[in-house]
Amino acid sequence: MLLKHIFIPDCLFDGFNIKTMISAKKSIVVMTAYLVIYIIFINTGLLFLLVPFLYIVSPFVIVWMVASILKDTKAKYPELKEKEEWGYADKLKDELGFF
């Protein structure tokens, strides 16, 4: 499984149970809402004092989103076969054709 080879520090998940963690789709929605709010605050000047805080916190929110996507185990994906180096979960090998 690919996730075994990706290093994600356990300190990112202190206090989180993988089974109760937010799903990948929800984390993407939360991150999108965060960025939309950030852009609205910048362009309108609304709560301008909050913009630097959102800017400083944004890398941590992005890392959280990426980690929650990588750790999401709700969707079942097929394992790669013996001599396959990569694959697509949504396409069959025969449908890919040649590039």
pLDDT digits 0-9 by tens, 5-29: 444 555 555 555 545 467 888 999 9
Tokens standing for 55?
A: 């800017």
Evaluate if pTM is beyond 0.75.
no
pLDDT digits 0-9 by tens, 33-80: 999 999 999 999 888 889 999 999 999 999 999 988 888 777 776 777
* Alpha-helical runs (H) found in 8-92: 24-44, 51-71
How far apart are the C-alpha atoms of 11 and 28, rounded to whole Å? 21
